[in-house]
Structures are given as C-alpha cells and as structure tokens.
Structure 1
Amino acid sequence: MFDLDRWREIFQSINKNRLRSVMSGFTVAFAILLFTLLFGVANGLGNFFKGAFADDAQNSMFVRVWKTSKPYKGLQTGRRVQLRNDDYNFVADEYEDKIQYQSARIYKNFSIKYKSEANTYNVRAVNPDHQFLEKTIIDDGRYLNERDLKEKSKVLVIGRLIKKDLFGEKVALGKRVNVNGSSFLIIGVFSDEGGDNEERIAYMPVTTAQSMYGNNDYISQINLGYNPNLSTDAAIAFGNKMERDLRKRLDIHPDDQSALSVRNMAEANKFISTVMLALTFIIGFIGSGTLIAGIIGISNIMIFVIKERTKEFGIRKALGAKPASIVGMVVQESVLITTLAGYAGLTLGTYILSLVGNSLEEDYFIKDPSVGSGTVIGATVILIISGLIAGYLPAKRAANIKPIEALRAD
C-alpha cells in the first residue's frame, strides 16, 4: 500500500544526506555503466566477425587454384593449375553425402549494354546452387536453373545496381542486353547482403560461358556447401581430405599453398566461436568483478549510513515506531537509490555505445556495439537485490537495539 508519509521521509532523508546518497548512487551507476560498455564492446566484436561473412553461407567451402610454387613429380615451379569439369564431377561424386550445394565459378569482365547505357561489370558463370552459397536474394524473376545449363542458354541474372545503372526505374526483366557482343535475356534481378560490389555482378550459366568464351571445360573455382548435419570438426576434416585428394589428382606438392587452397567456413566458424567464448569468459569475469565491487560499495555505504542513523532509530522507537517500519523505510530508500542509479548507468552506457556506433569498426573491429536489454536489466536487478540486502541486514540489527542503547550510540 502506498504510504505518502514514508516516501516524504525517504526523500527528506536523501535530501539531508546528499553526499551519502550521491556516493551510493555513483557506486551503482558506475558498476552498471562499466558492465554495459564491456558487454557492448563484446557484442560489437561478435557483430564484426558475423558481418565479415554475411554474404556467404555459413557452411561454404571455396576451392581455388593458381600457379605452383614448388616442383613436384618432375613438374616445374610456376605451372598454372587448371580446374576442369572432371574435377568438379569428381568432387560431386566422391563426397556426395557430405555436400549440400555445389557450384563451379568462372570469372569474366564484360561490357553490358542496353540502348545508350553501357558499363563493364564482373560476370560470373555459375551453377544454380550458387544462389544458396552466395545467399543471393531474388527481387524479380528467377535464378538460373538446370535447364539453362543443359541448353547453354544466353540468360543473365543481374544485380540490383546493374539494373539501376542500365534501366533506372524501368523494368529490366525480359529485356535483352548486349554482353560482349552477344544478346542475353535478363531473367532475374537480385540483391545481396554483401554490399554494393556484390550487387554490381551478373550471373550466367557456366556451360554458356564455357561454350562461348574459350570452347573448353575450364572452371576457375569450385564452391560448395557442406552438409549442415556435419559437426564443425567433421566439416574441417572433410575439407582437409578433399584438399589432399585434389592435390594428388592435380599433381600438386602437399605443402604448396599457393597452387591450391580450400577456404573452409567451418574453420572460420570454429575460430570465431573460440574467440567469442574466450571473450565472453573474460568479459563475464570482469563484469562480475564490477558487480561485486558495486555490491561491496553499496554494503559499506549502507553499514555506515545505518550506524550514522542509529540515534534516529532510537528516537523513532521511543516514540512508538515498530522495528518493521524502520527497516522498511531504510530498505525502500536503498532500493530507490539503487534503481535510479542503475537506470542512469544503463542509460548513459547505452547512449555512449550508440554515440560510438560503427566508428570503431575500421581500427578496432567493433561493429554496432550494443548490449541486450535482458543482460543489463538482469545485472541491475542483481544490484537492486544487493541494495535491498545491504540495507536490510544492518537496519534490522539497528532496529532491534533498545531505544536507550540506540540513544547512547556514538
């Protein structure tokens, strides 16, 4: 039940003892502020790591080849390694149960022209599964399909910014564009979370590129998504085995990293998980220490406050006040100060994090630092409960002292 007289007494006590009230509140506010900043920075680091791979599927692998840097089996250094359709099929057949998606990739740079508008763009020749590996979002039309591959269709899926460059606000779907001198039909427009560079790319069937530009079975890269049911360690083992098998197949020295590499997202995910676990432990340890320091600070201040007000309690008891009334008033005051100060610390910490924003991303790899409301509210509740206990225990002892003894207290 709301007791106006009690609240009036509480505010009079706070006003009378401003320094004590400020010190109590500062202890709580600083603890919550530091707690908020620490967890905000930790979340910002996590956001950076996640954002670095935002445009690729989390179960991706990328097989790339280049020139050899070591002689092997009588073959000279500097030999250009070339992936072919047979290598792509070998991977698909050999590891069928471990692969969810698979796509070849061929890189080209072509001029794409529509009427008077023209520009040079990155054109990638791929398989239909590439849509899921690259997390391509179809905004209009469709992506490449198996029929396009089989018929070697002259079709194109263009990025949102290519559509904007060539067509402006007009519809691009169903229009024909000139790609390096050949007419291609636009069958889809896509967007990509990877940013502007990823949205100035066009996709065509890999079979079309092989027949039109070289009349060969060359591919630049093999991309695949491993079976998501594989554990992280199993996915890493799969990637390592596939790399060893391809090195044997392509006559590449086992230690020649420049000739062939397999970028495995499972390894990146494991590294990120390990870093975030260690960071969470460190931040949790420091944050817990901050809360404990805040709790100790509140307890010490409240013990001093109760000792200072012992005579006051004696007078109240002499005038007929019950011990429960005295304890309740002290506890209410303690909880009020702790709650207001905790909210102030939370508000200030959140404001600082929003003020910093992404300015730390380039130098410190901290992106969008923020903290979950549940985490900070939980920490604030802990401090409030601590403030309640810190006020209750010494107040109960002081309230149980006989009035005559309380009046004699120094």
Structure 2
Amino acid sequence: MFSRDTWKEIFDTIKKNKLRTFLSGFTVALGIFIVVILVGFTNGLQNTFDEFFSDDATNTFFLFPGRTSEPYKGYKSGRRIEFDNSDIADIKENFPMFLEYITPRTTRSALVKYKGESNNYTNRAVGPAHQFNEKTIMMKGRYINETDIQDKAKHIVIGRLVEKDLFKGEDAIGKYVDLGGSAFKIVGVFQDDGGDNEERFIYMPYTTRQLIEKSTDEVGQIILAFKPEIGYAAALTFEKQLDKFLRDKKFISPEDENGIFIRNVADNYRQNQQFAVVLGIISSVFALGTIIAGIIGISNIMVFVVKERTKELGIRKAMGATPASVIGTILMESIVITAFSGFVGMMIGVALLSSLGEKLEDFFIKNPYINMGFAIFATLVLIVFGALAGYVPARRAAKIKPIVALRDE
C-alpha cells in the first residue's frame, strides 16, 4: 500500500480527475473552514462578555435608593428614600459573614481648574474599598485611605487623562486644583482598563463631599462585595436578606418595586455566561452538522469514484490484485485528498480569525480565536471519517467479481 508505485498511481489519478479532486477537496476544506470560523466567533463573543465584566468586580451588589410607589406603615407613597452613613454601619454589623467590603458612592460633576487649563469632570465621593470594586490601577501616588475619610481631607485621586488634560506633561502629584470652588490636593493618579471615560473620573473621600454639602451624612448609593467563597447560591440568599433588611429599616413595602433597587453584578455575569455557553452549544451543533455534511459529501463522491473505476478495478482483480490492495488504493486516495484539503481549510480559517482582531467589535465579537489543538482535532476527525466514508464503497468494489466488473458500462 505504501509502495512508490502506489503513491505514483494515486497522484496520477488525482491529476487525471482534477474536477472530481477539486470537488472532494473543496467539500472538506469548506467544512473545516466553517467549523473554525464558528468556534472562533463563539470565543470572540466570550471575550466580549469577559471584557465587559472584567473592568469591575463581579462579586458585587449596587444598592440604589428610589421613590416609594405605595403607602406602607403610615408613610405615604412617593416618599424619596435616602441612604446615609448609618446604613453602611448597619450592613457591616448585620452581615459580617457575607461581606467582603463596602463603600458608598456619591457622584457629582464640577469644573476643575489648574493654572490656565479647565474642564468639567465627574467626581465620585467614595471609600477606600471602591478601588477594589473598580479594579483601579494606581500609576502614581496612592488611593483614598481611611485617614482621608476620618479627617475629611481635601485629597483627590485623578484619572490618567485628567492629568493629561490639565497638566500637559507636568507631574500632578502634590499639586492643588480648584474643584468646584474648593482647593484639593492630588495624592494619586490612576489608570483604568475600562477605557477613556473611566480615566476622566476624579475620586475624593465621601466624608469630604458630605462636609462640602452642608455636613450631610447622605450617600448616593452603596456598593458592597460578598465573599467569593460563599458561592452563587449563598450570594442570592445574601441579596434577599439585604433587601428585606433595608426595606424594614426604611419602611418600604415588600411589594414596592420602586422603593429600593439592588443590582447583582454576579447574577448578570452568570446570565451572560450561561448565554455564552448556550451559544457555544449551538455553534458546536452547527459545527458538528458541517462536519457530518462534509463526511456525507466525501462518501457520495467516493461512491461515484468507485463506480467510475469499476471496470479498472475488475481488470486489477483479474490480474491478481487482492481485495485488500483494491481497498487500500481507494482509501489512500481518499485520505490524501481529505488530509490536504482539511489542513488547507483549517489554516485559512485560523489565518482569517487572526487577521480580524477587533474589526468585529461592533458586533460584540472581539479577538476571535480557536485553540489550535481543537482545530487540528476537528480536522483529524474529518480525515478519519472521510477515510471510513471511502472504505464502504471501496469494500463493496473489492467484492465485485472480475467478470461482472468488466461488463460494467
């Protein structure tokens, strides 16, 4: 089977039947190409989901105050709910078994000036734990700390692009800026993988914001993180208990959907992960269907090939060729065409995925890729089944009696 004459015969047959060879190879190459693209796009979509949630911690709850929509325990509907410092202290006291960290966040916008430069920036009044929630990366200096909170210090941490806008290459650490009419000292410069918008934020101690706003203790929203080791089910229990606790404290009806809002980032992340998994399964089904279609295509072509060569095979058997040699010749031709075409289709698909990069980001497909091990495995599967598809008609041809084969028209 592996003699030089056998190989020469295979390549001669391929050259003589170019159209048939092309159709066989194209079927295989297209099948592998589609499999690679489908899997690559699915991975690209997964990259988009991961990046969307990687900028912030996923084990977090965002608590937002609302306005009641129905009366409860003597309180009228339409009452504005407010969070304050006591809510943070009560959550710490009542849920230590769940809580990893907690921070308030109050968002404002103000004109910031430095020498002749000025611009409007969003400033957030936060606690030290906010750095973990946003996964803020300190480039220079430090983040807001507990001393800043206790002293109500007029210290701020600015984004990389704020420094670039206002300081024009000058080091901002230790400099003072006018923020909303008050002088603040810059103690840190950060960067954020969330993009340019995130790097134009300014952070200050939440107690300082409260001092500026007539010594109030109000906070805009509360962000907290549960301990990752408690698991998803326990996190949902924590969410329900937290919701009940705050509703009882603020006198909000359990049926009032507008009084308070809790956004569970972990739940959103899990739902999107499940969607990605389902999409991956659908993609795999289509990929499997494509491989099966390729195998059927190869089988049909091999049936035609054997039928076309029936008389030739009869002559071979009349001259003493064994059934094994007949089957081997046909199988080797099938394997050569399938293997070459399969790897060509695979490499074209991989090359296309590599060239796309972020070009499909608008379609939520970022940096699509396929694991080379999986791509090679899929190609080998198609080659193996392609050989099996060729074996069936080859075995049938090997059983034909020479006299019958010579009479074939």
Within 5 A, what are the aligned runs for 1:47-86? 47-86=47-86
Residue 235 (structure 1) aligned with residue 267 (structure 2): no
CA distance in 1, matches of 2:319, 2:138: 79
CA distance in 1, matches of 2:182, 2:2: 82
CA distance in 1, matches of 2:406, 2:334: 23
CA distance in 1, matches of 2:320, 2:140: 80
Residue 188 (structure 1) aligned with residue 188 (structure 2): yes
CA distance in 2, matches of 1:74, 1:366: 52
CA distance in 2, matches of 1:77, 1:366: 45
CA distance in 2, matches of 1:4, 1:169: 72
Question: Conserved in 2, the CA contact under 8 Å of 1:306 and 1:395?
Answer: yes
Cα deviation, residue 153, structure 1: 2.3
Q: Alpha carbons of 1:214 and 1:6: their partners in 2 closer, same or farther (altered >3 Å)?
A: farther
Counterpart of 1:31 in structure 2 is 31
Question: Conserved in 1, the CA contact under 8 Å of 2:111 and 2:180?
Answer: yes
CA distance in 2, matches of 1:76, 1:128: 37
CA distance in 2, matches of 1:319, 1:81: 97
Counterpart of 1:391 in structure 2 is 390
Within 5 A, what are the aligned runs for 1:308-387? 308-316=308-316, 326-350=326-350, 362=362, 365-387=364-386
CA distance in 2, matches of 1:5, 1:99: 76
Secondary structure of the residue that 1:96 maps to in structure 2? coil
CA distance in 2, matches of 1:221, 1:191: 23
Cα deviation, residue 262, structure 1: 0.5
Secondary structure of the residue that 1:173 maps to in structure 2? coil
Task: Give the TM-score normalised by structure 2.
Answer: 0.89
Between 1:87-96 and 1:25-34, the stretch displaced more is 25-34
Which amino acid is the alignment partner of residue 280 of structure 2? T
Secondary structure of the residue that 2:42 maps to in structure 1? helix
Counterpart of 2:136 in structure 1 is 136
Q: 1:174-223: per-residue Cα shift (whole Å, max 9, x none)?
A: 32222223332222211112211111001111222222333121111110
Which amino acid is the alignment partner of residue 70 of structure 2? K
Q: 1:270-312: per-residue Cα shift (whole Å, max 9, x none)?
A: 3123322322222222222221121122122213212322333
Question: Conserved in 2, the CA contact under 8 Å of 1:103 and 1:130?
Answer: yes
CA distance in 2, matches of 1:258, 1:356: 44
Cα deviation, residue 14, structure 1: 1.4
CA distance in 2, matches of 1:290, 1:86: 61
Secondary structure of the residue that 2:109 maps to in structure 1? strand
CA distance in 2, matches of 1:252, 1:322: 88
Secondary structure of the residue that 2:382 maps to in structure 1? helix
Counterpart of 1:146 in structure 2 is 146
Between 1:171-180 and 1:226-235, the stretch displaced more is 171-180
Counterpart of 1:248 in structure 2 is 248
Cα deviation, residue 268, structure 1: 0.8
Counterpart of 2:43 in structure 1 is 43
Cα deviation, residue 64, structure 1: 0.7
Which amino acid is the alignment partner of residue 211 of structure 1? L
Question: Conserved in 1, the CA contact under 8 Å of 2:49 and 2:273?
Answer: no
Within 5 A, what are the aligned runs for 1:290-301? 290-301=290-301
CA distance in 2, matches of 1:230, 1:171: 43
Which amino acid is the alignment partner of residue 203 of structure 1? Y
Q: 1:65-121: per-residue Cα shift (whole Å, max 9, x none)?
A: 132232222323332211011101111111111122211111121222222111111
* Sequence identity (%): 47
* Unaligned 5+ runs, structure 2: none
* Unaligned 5+ runs, structure 1: none
Cα deviation, residue 134, structure 1: 0.8
Question: Conserved in 2, the CA contact under 8 Å of 1:101 and 1:133?
Answer: no
Secondary structure of the residue that 1:231 maps to in structure 2? helix
How many residues of Structure 1 are paired with residues of Structure 2 in the alignment?
409
Q: 1:323-375: per-residue Cα shift (whole Å, max 9, x none)?
A: 6555444333222322332234334545665677656655x544444443333
Counterpart of 2:119 in structure 1 is 119
